[in-house]
A and B are shown apart, each in its own frame.
Chain A
Amino acid sequence: MIRAQVIVRPRLSIFDPQGDAVCRAIQHLGVANLKQAHVGKCIELELDGDDIEAARQKLDAICKDLLSNPVIEDYVLTLTPANGK
C-alpha cells in the first residue's frame, strides 16, 4: 500500500482572498503580529501496490491536470509506503 499526500497552495503572487480573511480573523483574535495567511488544500490518497516511483509519475501528472491549476497554484506531492489497514 502507498499513501500519497498532495498539498495544493495558492501562488504567493496571486491574491488569496480566503487567506486574507483568515489572516484578519486571527489578528482579530489577538495575534497582532500575524503577517500573512494562505489557505490551500490537502488531498490524501491511498493506492494498492508498492512501486512508489511508478505511482509518483502517475500522480504527478494528475496533480498537474486535475488537483492543481498551475496558473494559480503550486503543489507538493509526498508518497510513503504504508502497511495494510
Chain B
Amino acid sequence: MRWAVLQFPASNCDQDALHVLKEVLGQDADYVWHKETSLDGVDAIVLPGGFSYGDYLRCGAIARFSPVMNAVKAAAAAGKTVLGICNGFQILCESGLLPGVLVRNASLHFRCEYLPVKVENATTRFTGEYKTGQVLRLPIAHGEGHYVADEATLDSLFANKQVLFTYCNAEGKNTPESNPNGSQRHIAGICNRAGNVLGLMPHPERASEKILGSDDGLGLFLSLLKSQNA
C-alpha cells in the first residue's frame, strides 16, 4: 500500500505519521510537499497535525487552497483513503471534504493529554480492527478541536454512522466532564458519507507504539491495511 504524508508550511506531525507508516508498519510512504499537484499511484493520503499557515484566519483555511488539495479532492472522489489528523481534520472541514468546522475549545485552553475515546462504528475501513463501543486511550493536543455543525448535519452524521469516534469517560459514557473541547455531541472524528475520508482530532500516530504510552491508535492503520488487502 502506497502512502503520501502531506507537508504544509508548519505541519508538525508529518514525521510522526511517516515514522509509524514506514518503521512500525513497513509501508511504502513518502512526504509530499503541498505545492505538488499530483498524487497519482498513491493509495492513501495523510494530512498531518500541525499549525498550517500559522492557523491564520481560521485553522486550515489557507491550507485548503494549497495546490495539492485539488489532487486530494480528486483522490477522495475516486474512493482513495484520506486521513486528516488534528490540523488535517481542520483542513478537510475547511475544504468541504467533511461537513462542519472546528473552532476554539470552549474552555479556551489548549488541551494536551491522553483521553478515553470511544469507537462508535467499527464497520469502516478505518475502524475494522476495533469493536464498536471499544474505549481507546489516545492523545489529543489542540486549541481548536471544538466540532460545530448545524443540527440537521449532526443528525445526519449519526443517522449515517459517520461519527466514528467520540470523547467519553473510562466507562465509555459521553459525560460533559469527558468532553475536552466542547465538541457538539462529543464528536472526536467523522468520515464522509462514502466512508473513505476520515478526520479526527486525537492522534493515532502518536499512540502506535507501547513505549510511547499507548498503541491503541495502531488499530486504525492496521484496519486500513486489512481493508486494502481484502
Contacts and interface: CB of A to CB of B under 8 A. Distances in A.
A72 B103 contact: yes
Interface residues of B, number: 19
**SS class, residues of chain A in contact with chain B:** mixed
Interface of A: 14-15, 17-18, 21, 41, 66-67, 69, 71-72
Interface of B: 57-58, 61-62, 65, 94, 100-101, 103-108, 146, 148-150, 182
A17 B58 contact: no
B107 A71 contact: no
A29 to B, nearest CB: 18
B57 A67 contact: yes
A17 B108 contact: yes
A21 B101 CA distance: 21
Given A14-B148, A15-B106, A66-B61, 4 more contacts: A21-B108, A67-B57, A69-B58, A72-B148
Contacts of B62: 66
14 contacts: A15-B182, A17-B105, A17-B107, A17-B108, A17-B182, A18-B108, A66-B61, A66-B65, A69-B61, A69-B101, A71-B101, A71-B150, A72-B101, A72-B148
A41 B58 CA distance: 11
Nearest to B184: A15
B182 A71 contact: no
Contacts of B101: 69, 71-72
Contacts of B108: 17-18, 21
Nearest to A43: B57
Nearest to B99: A71
Contacts of A14: 103, 148
B100 A71 contact: yes
A21 B182 CA distance: 15
A15 B65 CA distance: 27
B192 to A, nearest CB: 16
